[in-house]
Amino acid sequence: PAAAPQQPAWRQPEPVAVPAAPELPRAPAAPVPPLHDAPAWSATPSLAQAADAEQRAMLQELREMKGLIEERFGALAFMEKMQRNPHQAKLTQKLLDCGFSPALIRKLAANTPADVADLEAWVAGVLERNLLTGEAEPALEDQGGVYALVGSTGVGKTTTTAKLAAAFAAKYGPSNLGLITLDAYRVGAHEQLRAYGRIIGVAVHTAHDRTALEDLLDLLSGKKMVLIDTAGIGQRDSRTQELLEMVGHRSIQRLLVVNAASQGETIEDVLVSYRAAQCKGVVLSKLDEAVKLGPALDAMIRHKLKVVGVANGQRVPEDWHRMSAHALVHRALRGGGSAAYRLASDDVNLVFTAPPARASLIAGGLHA
């Protein structure tokens, strides 16, 4: 047989075709914002801003330190003056015990003459001259006019209205008197004044809004005196402004009734809220309940308000009076109260080391 053809020892394999993998689509690259569009504040604050904030903080600390030093030096000077004059220190302690404010006592101490013989009599005289009572003017019941009695809740406006009405009717007769009530909040408020009106012999009219009030004023225009009893609203109530606008008629004069037994800060708040400076005067009620009359007189002196009458009980009209400045100051300087609230000499130092209340100081000063 024929021999098979001889094969080579090795043979190169034939290439195998491998299919290429499909190319995946690439996401478009995010555009890079230019450098000039980057906000300046995105990084840490600049050195200039940090230095400016630090400078402002340092100035604020310096101002606070300056104020503290001034207050302390003022207190030390005041106490040194008290130590040089023990009689003045004793009187200062007494005025604090009577309820007078440190603001008024500072004014008295600053204006005390060096050669005064009787210091207590001098202080009493200064208080009397600065307390307005309208002693030279006729009484309210003799002046006549239209008066609206305003004030906080429970100060005795309705009872004071009845006292003033009874005092007027006793002199000029009930036919010359008109009574109006605006108190639509309290239950039975109308009946209380109507009961007084029946005793006096005067009809009581009710007004629920300003239009009705103006109509009643026109109806009672021929009366010598017209008294308006208003609703008792707290001095921090938003309705206080509405009440003042309601009695803002040009013919109405407002009388602010203040509870003499209230704390000094409360009286201060009432005077500001009810715009005491725009009132005809102030009626101090509940003198029989006031342990200390100093806070009320202190507020009257500092705000330069006139005390046109006082009420010291529930009797109508026996407990309606006009008191002189001498009588009111004399009663206030008697002091009183519990021993637990009296200040020792060391306590006086603590009181006067506090910063003075500049806003409550007497604007025009005391008339010595």
Q: What pLDDT score was predicted for residue 179?
A: 94
- Residue 75, pLDDT above cutoff 80: no
Least Cα distance to 254 among 240, 268, 266 occurs for 240
Dihedral sign for Cα atoms in the order 94, 99, 104, 106 = positive
Higher confidence at residue 362 or residue 257? 257
User: What's the rounded Cα separation, in Å, for the pair 196 and 194?
Assistant: 5
Q: What pLDDT score was predicted for residue 217?
A: 92
Least confident of 12-16, 100-104, 227-231: 12-16
Length of the chain: 368
Least Cα distance to 131 among 329, 289, 277, 290 occurs for 329
Architecture of the domain defined by 140-335 = 3-Layer(aba) Sandwich (3.40)
Least Cα distance to 251 among 173, 144, 133, 175 occurs for 144
**pLDDT tens by residue, 119-136:** 889 999 999 999 999 888
Within 13 Å of residue 229, how many CA atoms lie on the same side as its CB? 32
Least Cα distance to 359 among 241, 268, 242, 266 occurs for 268
- Residue 187, pLDDT above cutoff 60: no
Q: What pLDDT score was predicted for residue 97?
A: 87
Task: Report whether the peptide linkage leading into residue 317 is cis, meaning its omega lies within 30 degrees of zero.
Answer: yes
Q: What pLDDT score was predicted for residue 71?
A: 67
For residue 164, give every residue at least 6 positions away whose Cβ sits within 8 Å of its Cβ, in sequence order, or none: 140, 141, 147, 227, 309, 317, 320
Confidence of residue 87 (pLDDT cuts 50, 70, 90): confident
Per-domain boundaries in the chain: 59-130, 140-335
Pairing of strands 145-150, 225-229: parallel
In angstroms, the Cα distances linking 336 to 32, 293, 331 are: 84, 10, 10
- Residue 80, pLDDT above cutoff 70: no
Do the beta carbons of residue 137 and residue 309 sit within 8 Å?
Answer: no
**Beta strands per DSSP E along the chain:** 145-150, 177-181, 204-206, 225-229, 252-259, 281-285, 307-311, 320-321
Do the beta carbons of residue 193 and residue 167 sit within 8 Å?
Answer: no
The alpha-helical segments, DSSP class H, found in 131-209 are 140-143, 157-172, 189-200
Q: What pLDDT score was predicted for residue 188?
A: 60
What is the mean predicted confidence (pLDDT) over 204-229? Answer: 91
Do the beta carbons of residue 102 and residue 71 sit within 8 Å?
Answer: no
What are the tokens at 291?
Answer: 């342990």
